[in-house]
Amino acid sequence: MITGIIVVVIFLVMAGLMMSKKLPALLALPLMAVLIGIAGGLPALGEEGILTFVLSSGAIKLAGTYVAILFSCWLSQILYRTGVTDTIIKKAAELGGDKPFVVSLVLCVVTTFLFTVLFGTGAVAMVGAVVLPILLSVGVPPIVACNAFLAAMCGGYCLNPSNISAIANITGVTMSDMTLCAAILCGICVLFFVVYLAWNFKKNGAKFAFAAPVKETDEAEEEAETRPQLKGFRGVMACATPIVVVLVMLIFRLDAIPVFLVGIVWAIIFTVKGKWSKYSSMLVQCCYEGFKDGAPTAGLMLGIGMIINAMTAPTTQKAIQPFMQMITPRTAVALVIFVCVLAPLGLYRGPFNLMGLGAGLAASMVAVNAVPVIALSAVFYAAYRWPSQSCPTSTQVVWASNFVGYDPVTTTNKVFWANWVVTALSVIIMVAIYF
């Protein structure tokens, strides 16, 4: 029992350091893994050693997930450099015509569509730099535009094979087990931004004016003009890349890495033109830039793997078992209450954020085996939707907020209560389906 309390204290201290920006998550997670290993009585070396099992083996535990993320970021860069991303967004804006609400909805739907394959802050910046100015130009207030865009992005992330792979690897379920959960959460995100936009349009009306002037730099405009314009059959097929990736995942039930490789090959087939040497150089540059975009998340995955190993080591589990047995819910109602009440703890890399402390908590609750693993996985994925969309420490939230001229705390506070309600409803739905 005492060991369990010590581990909780370690969690709280590390969360406090991350929230106060005293220690970045990239450093806090490995440090926490080492401290948990020490608290759990793990030796320095050996089969359960802190240096061998926790650090060395933990660093590669989620290798499949962070390699998938890197491939996803590579595909993101290819779609951006070949003009696929711009083409999809601009066609969507044209489809909306001169109706601000329709334009806003279509752009958000397209953003969700794109982020089923795109990943990383670089991809958010690529898409957001086009989508957000259009939203602002049709009269959507800056904070509303930012939150609607982030909700749409989160909807795509819910179906993104990289994120599904992450929860599958952390809890031990298969990706196919999580596809229904992912689809439902994607639909909930879409409903979120539809209702959010409708309520704000009704409240503010259509102003047809720039809510906040956002101008592209000359360099950005020049770059946009040099990107190729996609036309004809090959253009349509290139723009269908996200659909192809999602369908391959759902139909063939492949892991994330081959799914993204199929997407990369598909994009290459329908966008290649001109001299192959020049095109292949562009592919290599996309790989470098994509891996650079994915590096922050891949770095977090190293620490998350270490935490999982530290928490699931037999010696640690034996030490914290009495405490985990006491706090882990055992019924459907208890699980709903537990997660819904504590859902805000997913913010600031807290214990319901799978890209933070949540990985350790999820692994420990799975080890207790008090509730079905698939139900626990779905509930944690549902809780992860909130920090993925509106955590002030998430790089995509920081970028989008700064782009429209607000700090991330102000932006996320506007939808704090809405996110809590939506998270609670999501958790109830997941427990009803999977428990």
Task: Give residue-wise pLDDT tens across range 332-343.
Answer: 999 999 999 988
Which pLDDT value is given to residue 193?
A: 95
| pLDDT confidence of residue 9 | 87
**CB environment 401-434: b (16+ within 10 A), e (fewer):** bebbbbebeebbebbeebbeebbbebbbbbbeeb
Calculate what percentage of the chain has a pLDDT beyond 70: 93
Alpha-carbon distance 138 to 208, whole Å? 5
Q: Could you list the mean pLDDT of each consecutive 10-residue stretch along the chain, which spans 435 residues?
A: 81 79 84 90 89 92 87 92 89 79 92 89 85 88 94 94 88 89 95 94 63 44 58 90 89 86 94 91 94 87 88 84 82 92 83 76 81 91 92 85 87 93 95 91
Write out pLDDT tens, residues 78-93: 999 999 988 888 888 8
Per-residue pLDDT, 362: 83
HEC readout, 49-90: CHHHHHHHHHHHHCHHHHHHHHHHHHHHHHHHHCCHHHHHHH
